[in-house]
Amino acid sequence: MSEVCLLGATGSIGGSTLDVIRQHKERFSLRSAAAHSNVRRMTEISKEYPNAKLALFDEKAALELKKITGKNVLAGMAGLLELVSDCDLVLNGLTGSVGCEPTLKAIECGKKIALANKETLVMAGTVIKDALKRNPQSQITPVDSEHNAIFQCLAGRGSSEVETLHITASGGPFREWPTEKFSQITLKDALNHPVWSMGKKITIDSASMMNKGLEVIEAHFLFDIPYERIKVAVHPQSIVHSLAQFRDGSLMAQLGAPDMRIPILCAMAFPERLPLETKRIDLTQIQNLAFFEPDLKKFPCLSLAYEAGMAGGTRAAVLNAANEVLANAFIKEKIKFLDIPRGIEHCLAKIEEQSGEMNLEKILFVDSSAREEAEKFVEKICWNT
Ligand code: NDP
Ligand code: MG
């Protein structure tokens, strides 16, 4: 029996994880659940799992949940970190850079981590890898479907045996839109993802293809492969979740229905494979599998991410923080879709590189400077419109 700490319990990944736990009561129990401020959903979770410990980042919401449930409800980052230290397995389904500190804490406590929060690795990949070296009993298994696919294809093989990683992308809702129409993109258009139903921020990241950019950086740190050997392939059918090309000419792929419960269960149960009730792919129904090169002119966020990843240091932390502020500003309809890459470029040019050894304090400092700069960029646009 594995006691699970579920961070981001009220979100899309959180909901899928709860379903996986429901299907495997003999293997997983919900030790604790955390979210930002969704009191209603956390009350339901508490009813279903009366013994689960609870935390809400927002202090007022934590007090409200405490009143409703009569339970002790932890609050703030301290609350999240306390939950992480008391479990067997952490599933990090938080959205944004807030997920970084809990991942680091989980590593320091020697926990097994099923990681959906890609922002952790994008902003602090080097710090996370150093922490894993210092705490070899801790282990990260990727939940992100592409990385989980590659994790399965590699089956423990080292980077020296790999020639290229191919990360597949659905291409998002604007794959076939002409560039001239991009200035008219509305929030509704961008939230209309052709394949996956996910939280709003990752849905916007998918529309701008920043999600793929973040995933390239995530893959670099997870699998220790240089950026030159990580390629993106647009694959509209979203059946092949990613591929690994080995040096002997073999190309391994992982296929499956687009259902996040598959990679979630795989990451949680690893190295075992447990049964899952979900749709199976019917091979006779697949007419074709297409793969294209991404259009970097149309989707500048992808190039920006490659550049930031290759530049190293704190560049990816700047990119990640700026993107988070700008994607959220677009969700609030304060800025236009094309302002997202513009604002990221602006922040990358403005925020100076930090020299010397990388540590969490430095990353968090850069993260907050980039956020401030991105917020100023948003305010300026609001003033001018
Ligand atoms: P959602 O927006 O659906 O959920 C986000 C969760 O994080 C919610 O539970 C939210 O709580 C919580 N949260 C946000 N901010 C804080 C905070 N400051 N403190 C505590 N909790 C917080 O996101 P998704 O589930 O879609 O995505 C989660 C992560 O997984 C992201 O990093 C995403 O990139 C990654 N991912 C998601 C996939 C998907 O299919 N959804 C696929 C692959 C990766 P509240 O509800 O209270 O606001
Ligand atoms: Mg993904």
State the pairing for strand pair 240-246/162-169.
antiparallel
The CB of 114 under 6 Å from ligand 1? The reply is no
Is 100 touching ligand 1 by the criterion CB < 6 Å?
A: no
Structure tokens at 291: 């793969």
Q: 251-255 and 230-234 as β-strands: parallel, antiparallel, unpaired?
A: unpaired
pLDDT at 197: 85
What's residue 33's pLDDT?
Answer: 98
Ligand 1 in reach of 198 Cβ (< 6 A): yes
Mean pLDDT of the chain: 97
pLDDT of residue 384: 82
Measured in angstroms, how far is the CA atom of residue 176 from the centroid of ligand 2? 20
Distance CA 138, CA 140 (A): 7
Q: Which of 6, 10, 13 to mutate to test the pocket of ligand 1 (most atoms within 8 A of CB)?
A: 13
Q: Is the pLDDT of residue 385 over 80?
A: no
Q: So what's the pLDDT on residue 195?
A: 83
Report the alpha-carbon distance of residue 84 to residue 123 in Å, rounded.
20
Please give the Cα distance from 208 to 171 (Å, whole number): 9
81 close to ligand 1 (CB < 6 Angstrom): no
Confidence band (pLDDT; 50, 70, 90) for 383? confident
pTM, entire model: 0.98
Give the Å distance between the CA of 94 and the centre of ligand 1. Answer: 4
CA–CA separation, 64 and 70 (whole Å): 10
What are the angstrom distances between the C-alpha of 41 and each of 10, 14, 65? Answer: 6, 11, 10
196 lines ligand 1 (CB under 6 A): yes
- Closest ligand to C-alpha of residue 145 is 2
Cα 145 to ligand 2 centre (Å)? 5
Q: What is the Å distance from ligand 1's center to 161 Cα?
A: 34
Residue 253 bridge partners (DSSP)? 243
Of 12, 20, 120, 210, best ligand 1 pocket probe by most atoms within 8 Å of the beta carbon? 12
Q: How far is ligand 1, taken at its centre, from the CA of residue 117, in Å?
A: 8
pLDDT at 354: 86
- Which atom, in ligand 1's list, is nearest to the CA of 94? 7
Distance from the CA of 64 to the center of ligand 1, in angstroms? 21
> 51-100 pLDDT, tens per residue?
999 999 999 999 999 999 999 999 999 999 999 999 999 999 999 999 99
pLDDT tens, residue by residue, 131-175: 999 999 999 999 999 999 999 999 999 999 999 999 999 999 999
Least confident range of 35-49, 192-206, 300-314, 315-329: 192-206
Distances (CA, A) of 39 to 45, 63, 99, 184, 289: 10, 10, 20, 36, 43
Q: 341-372 burial, b if ≥16 CB within 10 A, otherwise e?
A: bebbbbbbebbeebeeebebebbbebbebbbe
The DSSP H or E segment spanning 141 is strand 139-142
Dihedrals φ, ψ of 240, to 5°? Answer: -85, 120
Tell me if 324 CB under 6 Å of ligand 1: no
Q: Which residues surround ligand 2, an ion (CB under 5 A)?
A: 144-146
Q: Is the per-residue pLDDT at 379 higher than 80? A: yes
pLDDT in tens, 319-361: 999 999 999 999 999 999 999 999 999 999 999 998 888 999 9
| Tens of pLDDT, residues 180-208 | 999 999 999 999 988 888 999 999 999 99
* CA-closest candidate to residue 96, choices 320, 337, 309, 378: 320
User: What is residue 94's predicted lDDT score, i.e. its pLDDT?
Assistant: 98
CA angle 113, 316, 4 (to 5 degrees): 15
